[in-house]
Structure 1
Amino acid sequence: MNMKRTGHQTTRVWGLAGSIALALCLGLSVAARAYEVWITDQSDTGKESGGYLYIYEGAQLAANPSSAKPAVTIDLAGDINKFCQDATQKAVRRPHMLFFTQDQSHAILSFLSGHVLFMDAATKKPEACLSMGKNVHAAWPTPDQKMVIAANIAEKKFIRIWTDYASHQFRFDPEKDVINLGAMESGERPDTAPICPITEASSKYAFITLRGGGLFVVDVTVTPMKVVATLDNVQIHPAGCGGIQVGDTVYINSGGGWPVAPLSYDVYALNISDLPKSVSAKLITTRDTQFADSHGMVAVGRYLWSADRAGNNIEVIDTLSNLSVGTIELAGPVSDDPAPDLMDVSPDQAYVFVGTRGPIPLTGNDKNVNNAKGSTPGVGVIKVTNGGRGGEFVGIARITNMKDGKETADTHGVAVRRK
């Protein structure tokens, strides 16, 4: 069944201005500048392989989403697939997560087929393709640009890749740069498959959300890597895939789409000041009794935006008080069922771009509830109001991949690149 919230509702939000994700702790400029919006479509473009990567000019996309066309379209079953097959002896499939390095020079694209692809962001050319094994769900570049940390759900492994972007060198040692999280399961953490790892601003500690609930904090700067702090599945609920640092606080979530938690929505503020001795979590908002699924978050000024892809809205949290201050309702004239997923914000903080899911969701969906099923696959454009405390859903650049009369497009990874 599909119980998702649809229909137009009035947005009730207010606001103030600020900076992009991690800007408060890394000192980034938010002056207006040219930018691109990259988004992946997970649907096959080859025989059980491929997918699409679309790249839009940000200003054009923001100005008129419904008529915006990608400046670059890359069929990942083509040259990229050949590049990765030559390197790993297997085809790429399901382009899932997408991030840029701090200096915007490289894109890191992870595939559920187990590949991590490093691309020159300016030329759009591949530089390296590594296999993480049977699967890689997310590959996060550390702010210091020395590492990428990757989550292999299928084999319950956490992997560190050493990165030297200037010399185009990317490597990992299966003996020294891999933690077998499966060996660390317990009653408090019954399923340690890693979902979405992130690091804080210093690039020292990785925060790894787990499919069965709980959290590992790993010092990624030592060899072998070391788990320095843990939380259990009561303190952190299952399968979070949203994480960001604002000021001195790291925020993570729990989410749905897995048998252990078809529906789940919690946002936590982590106190990391006592690391490496300990870490603690404060639950700041929950919708666990509702038809809700938290998946993806972004910082807009001092506000944290948390996507509810089942509920078709975005919750706004004031990071000064850690209180929920409003909800941006998305179902309505633009889309009856957008299923908002991952998000990123423009450099000038004027727009947030969100992946909207398709009618045949290929990942993160429990068919008993259809938490990730949407009707309008593409990239949604939300105009920021009141400095981040509000937003107006202004349009979607639709993405399509029709097969046998059915829409198979299913967008997921999205990231903004400053040019």
Structure 2
Amino acid sequence: MRTSLLAAAPLALATTALALGAAHAGKPGKGEGGQGYEVWASDQSNSVAGVAGNGLRGSYLWIWDSRDIERQLAGGPDAEPLSCARNNNGRAPRNVGPCDLLEVFPQDLREFGADGRPTGNRLSDLSGFGRLHGMLPDPQNRYVTANIFAPGGGYVGIIDTETKEAVGLFRVTGTNVGGGTDVRSVHMSFWDSTGSAVIIANLNGKVLERIDVTRNGSGKIKSLTFNKSASLGVGKGMEITAEATVFRGRNAHGRKMIGEVAGSYDEQAFADLTPNGFCKENGCAEGPDSPLGGRPNNVIICPIPSENRKAYITMGGGGLLVANTDATPMAIVGEYDNQVLNGAGCGGGQADGSMFLNAGVSASGAGATWSTFTMYKLDDSAFSLSPNLPNSPSPELVFADPGNTATGGNQSGPAANTSGQLPGVTTRRDAHGVAVTTDGGYIHNVDRIQNVVEVFDTQTGTRTSYDLTSANGQGSGFGACFEKSVRDDAGLPVNDPAPDLLERTPDGKYLMIALRGPAPVSVQHSAQGSCPGVGIVELLNGGSSGRLVGVLRSTNSVDDSPQNAPGGYPYAGAERSDIHGATVVTKGRRPARGKGLSRGRR
């Protein structure tokens, strides 16, 4: 790796799909500790008018309280979103959301480098601050990450879940991928199993990065350090063109933001080869590609964390790298070819020590003719501090749809599926969001195109299914999306949920599923839907089935950017809301594990 700090230049690259896995927690009941919860949803649409493209400037955070959700489900008024304003929880003049990303992270925040000196930029001077792609809570349920995914941006923030105020904001490393001079984007970031680190998918930059977190005894974050020494490059011929930065100033509540950048990029961590001597990414200059397809395109979709503090790094072109996230720099301990683990891996979860990882369609333009629904299972305990041999241990194939196309490393099936994405017409499939039930017995995996959920028994692999379009989940009557569908363009197919990322509630009663809109911002060829918001799925039969019983509707008519949904309907209405991620935060502070937590070194 050669470091060459060049002038920044925006670069829009094709993005890749993501889905998240939920760790399982306590038994069904009133919830953990008897508290209620909040549903946090990430709306990718612009929060300002006059923007030429989708998801480029601002976004909305939609937050709903569980008490209001239960009232809605009981036939009461629709739940109103909460505000992020100072002195909310009933003390603000109008405690109603949604929250504007451009206000949560004030645009006058100043950018600082690792040397502690200002770069001369304020947040408002920089491009790519938009497209809130997802938020994930820490194990303590005190904070969420805010993953801001507009092309060329590369921002990741931390938000306090009780006060709804920003705590920290960073911009990740820029690299030379594809011949660029400032290539970076944050697709998603995950907390490790202790909450002492945030592991970041710098998708376009092809870097796995880490923020080290220090807490006090109650779990409150005292420091956030973007550790350059921890960064792991997964591309080929990599150079650092722009170092990570941090933003300082006062948040919307008038309190100081925290954060620093420290350490030094490790040259060997950005070298071309895996520990077994194969190219991390195909076509490198230093060695051969791995023989079973290798890894053709290592845009990082998501580094799915395990309880063993490993990250399962899924790639846009298929294949997988497993990293020890405790190491500095983070270190590869497992490597898989794309014929062994197909792309585009977009989600996973853990149950009883096993990691469940899926494969779905690519978010790039090529994905418009992919059809992929596959689930794999790997033993997390098989990875330690030393690297395994390639493709070892062998993954268990839990399910592969017989209609899968010969894409993403899959070696059988038709070359393409050109049936588009219109409901009732398309035969394409796209495995995406994943959630594990509270007892770890079942894993639910949504199909973004077919509007169904495949459920796998985590012990036997037995598969059952339910739909998100009918009243009972099995084809009888109209589901909740029908009533909540957009109606300002008569040609738009209604009752089309287009499910995305999801999370289960702490009481074990529901899954909260992001539902896409008629003007999808990302994965436009597979994600057009009719009822943007969050779908409420009631779990049935011990968690082995479910039905859509309600929709928390979001809306955005401020954004007037053009819509594009290849293979879908040419929507001409005004709705631009596009919820990509839904997560659940338990209300009330959860105790920290131990008298204070900080990132360890190995």
Query: Normalising to structure 2: TM-score of the pair?
Result: 0.62
Give, in angstroms, the shift of residue 389 of structure 1: 1.1
2:34 & 2:548 partners in 1: Cα distance? 21
Q: Residues 24, 194 of structure 1: CA spacing in aligned structure 2 closer, same or farther, 3 A cutoff?
A: farther
2:65 & 2:38 partners in 1: Cα distance? 5
Taking only the aligned residue pairs, the percentage that are identical comes to: 30
Superposed, which structure 2 residues align to 1:66-81 within 5 Å? Answer: 67-72=78-83, 73=97, 74-81=99-106
Q: Which residue of 2 aligns with 1:173?
A: 227
2:191 & 2:528 partners in 1: Cα distance? 29
Q: Does residue 1:59 correspond to 2:67, yes or no?
A: yes
Asked whether the equivalents of residues 141 and 147 of structure 1 are also in contact (C-alpha less than 8 Å), the reply is: yes
| Equivalent of 1:274 in 373, 378, 382 | 382
Moved more, 182-191 or 276-285: 276-285
Q: Does residue 1:346 correspond to 2:505, yes or no?
A: yes
Q: Which residue of 2 aligns with 1:100?
A: 137
Q: Which residue of 2 aligns with 1:228?
A: 333
Q: Residues 105, 258 of structure 1: CA spacing in aligned structure 2 closer, same or farther, 3 A cutoff?
A: same
Q: Residues 37, 167 of structure 1: CA spacing in aligned structure 2 closer, same or farther, 3 A cutoff?
A: closer
Give, in angstroms, the shift of residue 30 of structure 1: 4.6
1:296 & 1:220 partners in 2: Cα distance? 23
2:33 & 2:458 partners in 1: Cα distance? 22
1:142 & 1:21 partners in 2: Cα distance? 11
1:109 & 1:288 partners in 2: Cα distance? 37
| Equivalent of 1:243 in 348, 353, 365 | 348
Give, in angstroms, the shift of residue 315 of structure 1: 0.8
In the TM superposition, what whole-angstrom CA distance separates every residue of 1:245-291 from its partner, at most 9, and x where no partner exists?
11111111111133454432111111223213344311211236151
Asked whether the equivalents of residues 206 and 219 of structure 1 are also in contact (C-alpha less than 8 Å), the reply is: yes
Give, in angstroms, the shift of residue 109 of structure 1: 1.0
Q: Does residue 1:135 correspond to 2:240, yes or no?
A: no
Q: Which has the higher strand share?
A: 1
Q: Which residue of 2 aligns with 1:361?
A: 520
Q: Which residue of 2 aligns with 1:44?
A: 46
Give, in angstroms, the shift of residue 243 of structure 1: 1.4
Q: Does residue 1:286 correspond to 2:400, yes or no?
A: yes
Larger radius of gyration: 2
Q: Residues 21, 63 of structure 1: CA spacing in aligned structure 2 closer, same or farther, 3 A cutoff?
A: farther
Q: Residues 270, 330 of structure 1: CA spacing in aligned structure 2 closer, same or farther, 3 A cutoff?
A: farther
1:168 & 1:288 partners in 2: Cα distance? 51
Q: Which residue of 2 aligns with 1:5?
A: none
Query: Which amino acid is 1:60 matched to?
Result: D
1:284 & 1:84 partners in 2: Cα distance? 48
Asked whether the equivalents of residues 212 and 227 of structure 2 are also in contact (C-alpha less than 8 Å), the reply is: no
Gaps of 5+ in 2: 1-21, 84-96, 113-121, 174-183, 237-279, 283-288, 404-426, 471-477, 482-494, 561-572, 588-602
**Larger relative contact order (CA 8 Å, sep ≥ 6):** 1
2:501 & 2:109 partners in 1: Cα distance? 25
Classify the secondary structure of the residue corresponding to 1:21.
Answer: coil
1:111 & 1:150 partners in 2: Cα distance? 12
1:84 & 1:285 partners in 2: Cα distance? 48
| Equivalent of 2:155 in 95, 115, 118 | 115
Asked whether the equivalents of residues 25 and 506 of structure 2 are also in contact (C-alpha less than 8 Å), the reply is: no
Q: Which residue of 1 aligns with 2:414?
A: none
Give, in angstroms, the shift of residue 58 of structure 1: 1.6
Q: Which residue of 1 aligns with 2:277?
A: none
Asked whether the equivalents of residues 308 and 380 of structure 2 are also in contact (C-alpha less than 8 Å), the reply is: no
1:372 & 1:99 partners in 2: Cα distance? 21
2:316 & 2:326 partners in 1: Cα distance? 24
| Equivalent of 2:532 in 355, 369, 377 | 377
Asked whether the equivalents of residues 292 and 311 of structure 1 are also in contact (C-alpha less than 8 Å), the reply is: yes
Superposed, which structure 2 residues align to 1:154-233 within 5 Å? Answer: 154-165=204-215, 166-174=220-228, 176-183=229-236, 184-186=280-282, 187=289, 188-203=294-309, 205-233=310-338
Q: Which residue of 2 aligns with 1:334?
A: 480
1:393 & 1:233 partners in 2: Cα distance? 35
Aligned residues: 391
Gaps of 5+ in 1: 1-19
2:352 & 2:469 partners in 1: Cα distance? 28
Moved more, 217-226 or 56-65: 56-65
Q: Which residue of 2 aligns with 1:124?
A: 164
Q: Which residue of 1 aligns with 2:246?
A: none
In the TM superposition, what whole-angstrom CA distance separates every residue of 1:211-230 from its partner, at most 9, and x where no partner exists?
00000001111122211111
